[in-house]
Amino acid sequence: MILVVGSGIVGSWVAYQISKISKEDVVVCDYAEHRGDGISGRNSGVLHSGIYYPKESEKLKHCLRGYHLTLEFLKENHIPFDLCGKYITVGGNGDLSHKSEKLHLLYEKALQYEINETNLIDHLESIHPFLKGNLALNIQKTGVVAVPEYLKRLWEMCEASGVLFLKGKKCSIENGSIYLTDVQDGSKELAEVSGFVNAAGLYSDEIIRQAGNHQYEIRPNKGEYFRLKKTLPLQKLVYPLPEEHSTALGVHYTFHLNGEAYAGPNSNWSSSKDDYKMETPRDAFYESLCNITNYYKEDDLSEGYVGLRPRLFKNGSAHTDFLIEQHPVDRPWLHLLGIESPGLTSSPSIGEEVAKRIQSFL
Ligand SMILES: Cc1cc2nc3c(=O)[nH]c(=O)nc-3n(C[C@H](O)[C@H](O)[C@H](O)COP(=O)(O)OP(=O)(O)OC[C@H]3O[C@@H](n4cnc5c(N)ncnc54)[C@H](O)[C@@H]3O)c2cc1C
C-alpha cells in the first residue's frame, strides 16, 4: 500500500498520479471529516502564469507544468474556469519610479519564461478610470477556476482510479512506524506501507519531525479576504506589485466564478495553525485596496474568509521554495513542505514528480 497523508489538492493529485502508474493500492488518509477543509478550500483560486518565481526554482518548474496539466484536466472534465488574464499595476501609492523599474523587471521575466501575450500598458488609468497606477503589466496567461467543483471532480477521478479515501484518520509516526488513529473512537492501527507521502499542508513539519528530521518548521501566515459588494466593470484580476520581503502577492482584486468578488489576501503571522479569525480592521484593508482601485467605498467591504499559508523555515531561516524531502534516506518516504502559492496551480505537476519518485522505490 502507498499511503498519502492529506486529501487537499496536493495529496489528491499525488494519489491520482500514483494510481495512474502503479499497481499498488493507494490510500489517502485525512483527519478531517470533510475533505478540502484545509488550505485548498481557502485560497484565491487563481491559475498562475509563473511570472513571480525565480529561475531554477521548484515553484517555477511546477507552476509552468502544473498550469498546462490543470487546464488539460479542467477541459477534459468540463470544470468551469475563465482565462480572464490579469493586470499587475504600479498602483497609486509609494515610490512610483522604483515601482516602474520593478514592473519592467517582471516584464523581462515574462519574456524570459516565454509567458506569451504579456504586454506593458501605459496610461492604465485613462483606459480604466476606476483603476490606479499609470503603468501596468497585462498578462493574458492567468485564470480563475471553480475550486470546489475542481476538487470534487479530482476526488471522483481518484476513486474511479482505485484510490481509497479514509476520513477521520490521523496519521502519526512513532519509533519509525506509521500509525492511523481514528479521531472519533481513538482506536489506533499500524499502517504497513511500501511508500509514504506526507502532503499534510500546514502540519507536514510535524510529520517529518516524527520521522526524525527536526530541521523544518512551518509557521502559519494568515491571508484575509474581504468580500466586495460588486464586481469591477472588468473581467480581469487586478494585482499590485508583489511584496518586497515576502512571498505574498499583495492585496488584489479577484472574483469567483459564482459572481462573488473579493479583495485579499493580506499577510500577517498567525498565532496558531487553526486560527481562522479575521483580525484586520476594515479601514486598514480598504486602504490597501485603494492602492489598486478607486471603485469601492469602505462600506462595500464585508468580512470574507481566511486562508493560512504554510511558510517553511529550515534551521530557523525562511526557505521560500517548495521542498520534496526524502526522510529517512533509506525509506520510500517523501515529505512535501512549504507548498504555498502557487500550490493550487502546481499540484498536478508536483503529483507527477512524486508519483515517479515513489514508483522508482518499488
Ligand atoms: C491565502 C491563500 C491564497 C492562495 N491562493 C492561491 C492561488 O490563487 N493560486 C495557487 O496556485 N495557489 C494558491 N494558494 C496555495 C494553495 O492553496 C496551496 O498551495 C494548496 O492548497 C496546498 O494544498 P495541500 O493539499 O498541500 O494542503 P491542504 O489543503 O491543507 O491539505 C492538507 C490536508 O492534510 C490533512 N492533515 C494534516 N495533518 C494530518 C495528519 N497528521 N493526519 C491526517 N491528515 C492530516 C489536513 O486535514 C488537510 O486536509 C493560496 C494559499 C493561501 C493560503
Q: Which tens digits make up the pLDDT trace of 279-298? A: 999 999 999 999 999 999 99
Closest atom of ligand 1 relative to the 254 alpha carbon: 8
> Average pLDDT in the 215-243 region?
95
Q: How confident is the model at residue 93 (pLDDT cuts 50, 70, 90)?
A: confident
Query: Considering the chain, what percentage of its residues have pLDDT values greater than 90?
Result: 92
Same domain? 237 vs 132: yes
Closest atom of ligand 1 relative to the 172 alpha carbon: 41
Hey, is 136 helix, strand or coil?
strand
- What does the buried/exposed string (b/e) look like for 313-335 if buried means 16 or more CB atoms within 10 Å of the residue's CB? beeeeebebbbbbebeeeebbbb
Same domain? 197 vs 238: no
Count of domains observed in the chain: 2
Same domain? 135 vs 273: yes
> What is the CB-side half-sphere exposure of residue 136 using CA atoms within 13 A?
29
Same domain? 229 vs 357: no
Return the H-helix or E-strand segment holding 47: strand 46-47
CATH number of domain containing 57: 3.50.50.60
> Average pLDDT in the 2-9 region?
98
Q: What is the ipTM of this complex?
A: 0.99
Ligand 1: residue whose CA is nearest its atom 15? 341
Query: How far is ligand 1, taken at its centre, from the CA of residue 295, in Å?
Result: 32
Tens-digit pLDDT profile for residues 145-195: 999 999 999 999 999 999 999 999 999 999 999 999 999 999 999 999 999
Same domain? 230 vs 301: yes
> Average pLDDT in the 69-81 region?
98
Tens-digit pLDDT profile for residues 346-358: 999 999 999 999 9
Same domain? 231 vs 261: yes
Same domain? 156 vs 275: no
Regarding the beta carbon of 173 and ligand 1, being less than 6 Å apart is answered no
Domain coverage including residue 228: 82-142+220-314
Contact in structure between 262 and 231 (CB atoms under 8 Å): no
For position 80, what pLDDT does the model report? 96
Closest atom of ligand 1 relative to the 171 alpha carbon: 42
Closest atom of ligand 1 relative to the 66 alpha carbon: 11
Ligand 1: residue whose CA is nearest its atom 27? 201
Helices 9-21 and 343-361, packing angle to 10 deg:
40
Regarding the beta carbon of 151 and ligand 1, being less than 6 Å apart is answered no
Q: How confident is the model at residue 133 (pLDDT cuts 50, 70, 90)?
A: very high
Mutate to test the pocket of ligand 1, among 43, 276, 321 (most ligand atoms within 8 A of CB): 43
Q: How confident is the model at residue 228 (pLDDT cuts 50, 70, 90)?
A: very high
Regarding the beta carbon of 250 and ligand 1, being less than 6 Å apart is answered no
The C-alpha atoms of residue 285 and residue 182 are separated, in whole angstroms, by: 41
Same domain? 123 vs 259: yes
Mutate to test the pocket of ligand 1, among 39, 82, 202, 205 (most ligand atoms within 8 A of CB): 39
Same domain? 21 vs 87: no
Q: Is 20 exposed, middle or buried (0-12, 13-18, 19+ CB in 10 A)?
A: middle
